[in-house]
Chain A
C-alpha cells in the first residue's frame, strides 16, 4: 500500500472517519442529537463533492482491487445523495419512535461505505467485503427499533435469508477462483474467456446471480423484502429500497459484464426470465395491498423487474452499451422518487405515531389535511407510474427503448403492460388522498418543516429536474458507463 492508493478511497475515508466521530461524540450528547446529524450530513455531502472533484484522476489502487473511475464516481455521488436524504428524514422519525441514537447515523455511514466499495471494486474479494459491510449494517438498521416486535422480526428475517444468499454468492465466487486461480475481475474474465463456456462457468454464473439477486430482491428471492420494509424504521426502509439496490446493480453490471462475459448468453436468458417473473410478482402483490408501505415494498420489486429486463438486454446487445446507460439513469431517477414516497410515509408517521398505520384508509382526506404532503406524494406516485414530465417517465422511456434496441421488443411490451398495471395501485393512493373522505377527521395540522421537509423538497426537485432536463443525468450515465466499458 502506498499513499497513492489512498486517493481513490478518500470519499470512503471521510465517511469512515465521520462514523467513528459520531460514535465518539454520541456519549456526550443528551437529548439533542443535532451534532451527530450534522456530522453525518456533512460527511455524506463531502464524500459526494470529493468524489466529483476526483473525476479525471482515474487510477487503480490496492493492487487493482479498487479503482477510481467515472463509473464508481457516478455511484458514489448517487449513494451519498441517497444517504443524505435518508439522514435528513430520520431525526424526526426516530424522535417520534423514542430511539434517537447516534449509532444509527454511524451504521448508515458504514452501509454507504460498503456500497461505495461494491461499486468501485475490481476484485471479487473486495466486492464481497463491501457487500457484507453493507449487509451487516443493514441488518442492524432494520432492527434499530429493538423494542418493537416488527423491527426485530425484520432484522431476523433479513439476517437469516441474507446469510443464505451470502453463502450462495461465496460458493459461486469460490467456483470461479477454483477454475481460474484469480479473483481480479479482468484476470478472471480473460481466463474464463480463454477456456470457453462450460458447465462449471454456468453453475458459477447461476450461483452468483442468485446470491446477488437476493440483495436486489429478484423473485423468487424477494420474499424478505415486504416484511423487512414494513418492520424496519421507515427512513431505513426508504434507504433499503434505493441504496443497497443501486449498489447491487452497480456490482451486477460490473461482475456480469467483465467476469462472466463468456457466459453472457446464459445470464441474459436467466435475467430475462427472472425479469418477467419479478415484474409479475411485484405488480401482482402490490395490487392486493391495502398497506401503502407494503405496496411500496412490492412496487420496488416490480421496478427491479424492469431493471432486470435492461440487464437481459445488455447481455444480448453485445457492444451496444445503451442498456447499461439506461440502467444507471433509471437507478438515479428511481432513487429520488422512491425516497420521496417513503419520506412522505415517514412524515405522516411522525404526525400520528399512534394512529397512522400506513394503510390506504389513513391517506383518505390527506389532500385537505396536509396539502403539501399530498401534492408531493402525488408527484412521487406519478413518477413511479411513469407519467411524462417526471423522472420515472424518462427512466422507463430509456430503459424500455434500450430493451427494444436489443431486439427484445416483446419483452418491452410485457414491461410496458406491467407498468400500466402499476398505475392502478399508484394512482389509487392519489384517489384516496384527494377524493375520499376520512373515517376519522384528524384535527392536527402540523406543517412540514425542518430537515424532513428539505429532504422531501429535494427529492421532488430531483424528480422534476430529471424529468424535464434528463440530458444532464444521461450525459453522466453515458460517460461513466460508456467510458469504462467502451
Chain B
C-alpha cells in the first residue's frame, strides 16, 4: 500500500504536466489518451486499495514526508486510507474515468482540447489529494485546488462574458465559505495542537474539550461545506457554473467536487457528534436547501439548470442525513447520486450535443425515437433521481428519510418527502418535455439531429447500469447492506458518542418505503398529466393560479437580487470609500513617505563609499575602535 497509495493521485498529476506542456505542439487531437489512461490506472489502483482495506478495523496512514515543520506546527504529507476514503477514491476515479472517455467525444474539435484534458487531470489530482489527505491542511489544500480547477473549467470558454463572470461568482461565493473553513482549521490546530485526523479525533473522543469550542469548530467547518457543496445561502454559484462544458458539470459540479463538503462533514463525524447543536444546524440547512432548490428546479427551462438545482437539492438531502448522524446513508446517497447525476448530466450533454448546442427544453420534444440510447439511459437516471423502486436513488434516499422518521425528526422527514415529490415531478417534466410529445425544434436543427458517438454512449450505458442496479446491490437490506457493513468501522466512534445502535429491519421500514415510493410515483404521474396529457393549458393554468409564488420561484426566490442590493452594493460602496480615502490618502501617503525616507538614507550613507581603499580601512578601524570601546565601557 505504501507505494500504491501515493500513485493514485500521482498518475493524474503526471498526465497533467505531460498534457499541459506537450499538448499544444505534439499531442493535439490525441491529448485525451494520457489523461484517460492515467485515470483508468488510478481506478485500478483504487480497486486494489479497496481490496486491501476491506474488513480492516483501523485506518492505514502512509507518510511521505514532513512538509514545512515550524516548531510544533508539523504537517506531514500523509495519506490516510480507510473505508470512507476508499469509497471516495472509487467514485472519483471510476466516474472520472467514464467522464474522461465521454469528454473525448464531447470536446472533439474544440480549440482548447488539450487544455481541457490538462485541467481535468489537475482536477482529478486535487480531488484525490483532498480525499486521501490524512490531515486538515492537506484537505484544505485539496479543497482550494479543486476550487481553482473548477473556476478554470467554468470559465473554459473564457471569451464568453457569461462564462467568465460565472467563474468569478463561483470564486467569490466560495471565498465566503472557505474563510470559515480556514478559521475552523486554525481553531482545530489551536485546540488540539495537531491537524492529523487520527490525533484530533482521538482527542475529541477522549473528552475534555469544551462543547462550545467543538460547536465553533463544527459550524466553521460546515461554513466551508456550505460554500463548496452549494448549500443555502451560498448555493448561488452552482447554477451559474453550468456555463462550463457539460463533462465538467457532470464530474465537478455533480459527482465529485460539490460532494467534498459532505465528505468533510462525514470525515469530521466525531467532532459533529460531540456538538449536537452543530448537527442540528447541518440538518436544518440541508433540509431547507433540499426543498428550496427543488422548488426552483420546477420552473427552469434550461436543461442543465434543472440538473443544477436538482444537484443542490440532492446535496441538501445528504446534509439532512448527516444532521441526524445518518453518516452511512449520506455517503450512500453521495455514491448513488454520483452515478445517476453524472448520467443525467452526460445524457443532457448528449442531447445538447446532438442538437448542436441547444439547451432550452422549450425547443426540444419528441427526441425519444431519434436518439434512443440517450433516451433509455436518461430514463434510468431519471427513475433513480426520482427515487422509484428499485432504482439506485430509491434505496439511498429512503434510508435518509427512514432514519429521520425513526429518529423522531418528523418535520425534516415531511420536508424531505415533499422535496422528493417535487423532485420526481421536475425530473419527469424534463424527460417529457425533451423526449416526448411533438417536436418544437427549429427545422434547421432537426435535420441535423444525430446520436452521439460511441465514446459518449458507452459511458452513458455503464452509468445507466449502475443507476439501475447499484442501489439494490449495495443497499439491501436498508441500513444493513454491503455498503453499510463496509463503512461501519469508520463511523463507529461517532456512533458511540451519539449512542446509536443498529436496529434490525422491521415492518416500519417497509411502510416507510411504500410511502416514499408512492410519493415518487405520484410526482411522476402529475408530471405526466401536466406535460404529456395536457401540455398546452395545464402548466399555464397552474402558473396563473399561483401567480406571485410562480414569479418568485421563476426568479429563484430573488436571492441574487437580494445579494445585489445588499452585500454587493455595500461592498462596492465600501471599497470605493477605502480606495478614495484610505488608499489614496493614508496608504499612498505612508508609502511615499517611506520611499522618501529611504531616499534620504541612501544619500546619507553614499558619501562613505568612496572607492578609495584607504577610506575603507579608516572606516574599519573606526568600527573596530567603537566596538572595542563599547566592550570595555559596558
Contact = CB atoms under 8 A, between A and B. Distances in A.
Interface of A: 156-157, 160-161, 164-165, 168, 199, 202-203, 205-207, 209-210, 214, 220-221, 223-224, 226-227, 266, 270, 280-281, 284-285, 287-288, 322, 394, 397-398, 401, 405, 421, 469-472, 474-475
Q: Is the interface of A mostly helix, strand, loop or mixed?
A: helix
Contact of A221 (B69, B601, B606, B620): B620
Interface stretch (B152-160, B439-447, B609-617): B609-617
B68 A199 contact: no
A53 B628 CA distance: 44
B598 interface: yes
B623 A164 contact: no
B70 A398 contact: yes
Contact of A220 (B68, B598, B623, B632): B623
Contact of B616 (A202, A223, A281, A285): A223
B623 A221 contact: yes
Contact of A203 (B65, B70, B632): B632
Contact of A223 (B608, B630, B631): B608
A223 B616 CA distance: 6
B619 A223 contact: yes
Contact of A227 (B65, B611, B623): B611
16 contacts: A157-B613, A160-B613, A161-B613, A161-B616, A207-B628, A210-B623, A221-B619, A270-B627, A270-B630, A285-B606, A285-B609, A288-B602, A398-B70, A421-B598, A470-B67, A471-B69
Nearest to B595: A424
B567 interface: no
Contacts of B621: 164
Given A161-B617, A288-B606, A266 B624 contact: no
A202 B622 contact: no
A156 B605 CA distance: 24
Contact of A206 (B69, B615, B619, B628): B628
A284 B617 contact: no
A355 to B, nearest CB: 24
Given A220-B623, A397-B70, 16 more contacts: A156-B613, A161-B616, A164-B617, A165-B620, A202-B632, A203-B628, A207-B624, A214-B620, A223-B615, A223-B616, A223-B619, A270-B631, A285-B606, A471-B65, A471-B66, A475-B66
Given A156-B613, A210-B624, A223-B608, A474 B602 contact: no
Contacts of B606: 285, 288
B207 interface: no
Contact of B631 (A266, A287, A401): A266
A269 B388 CA distance: 79
Contact of A287 (B602, B617, B620): B602
B620 A161 contact: yes
B620 A164 contact: yes
Nearest to A470: B68
A469 B65 contact: yes
Contacts of B548: none
B109 interface: no
Contacts of B212: none
B390 to A, nearest CB: 50
Interface string B128-152: 0000000000000000000000000
Contacts of B611: 227
A30 B619 CA distance: 46
Nearest to B603: A288
A226 B30 CA distance: 55
Contacts of A401: 70-71
Interface residues of B, number: 30
Contacts of A221: 619-620, 623
A184 to B, nearest CB: 24
Given A203-B632, A284-B601, A288-B602, A474 B627 contact: no
Contact of B627 (A160, A210, A394): A210
A199 B629 CA distance: 11
B135 to A, nearest CB: 15
Contacts of A156: 613
B66 A223 contact: no
Interface of B: 65-71, 598, 601-602, 605-606, 608-609, 611, 613, 615-617, 619-624, 627-628, 630-632
Given A224-B616, A270-B627, A474 B69 contact: yes
A287 B598 contact: yes
Contacts of A270: 627, 630-631
A398 B68 CA distance: 9
A206 B627 contact: yes
Contacts of B71: 322, 401, 405
B67 A469 contact: yes
B602 A220 contact: no
B616 A284 contact: no
Contacts of B628: 203, 206-207
Closest 8 CB pairs of A and B: A220-B623, A288-B602, A471-B66, A223-B616, A202-B631, A206-B631, A284-B601, A157-B613
A179 B359 CA distance: 92
Contacts of A224: 613, 616
A401 B73 CA distance: 12
Contacts of B630: 270
Contact of A285 (B602, B620, B623): B602
A471 B602 contact: no
A322 B70 CA distance: 10
Most buried by B among A209, A280, A284, A475: A284
Contacts of B598: 284, 287, 421
B378 to A, nearest CB: 45
Contacts of B632: 199, 202-203
Most buried by A among B65, B606, B609, B631: B631
Nearest to B627: A206
B605 A285 contact: yes
A221 B66 CA distance: 40
Contacts of A209: 627
A227 B613 CA distance: 10
A7 B71 CA distance: 36
Contacts of B66: 471, 475
Contacts of A160: 613, 617
B134 to A, nearest CB: 16
A332 B622 CA distance: 33
Most buried by A among B67, B617, B620, B621: B620
A164 B623 CA distance: 13
A394 B68 CA distance: 8
A165 B619 CA distance: 12
A471 B74 CA distance: 10
A471 B601 CA distance: 39
B616 A157 contact: yes
Nearest to A421: B598
A421 B624 CA distance: 28
Contacts of A474: 69
A384 to B, nearest CB: 18
Nearest to A285: B605
Nearest to A298: B609
Given A223-B619, A401-B70, A203 B631 contact: yes
Nearest to A163: B617
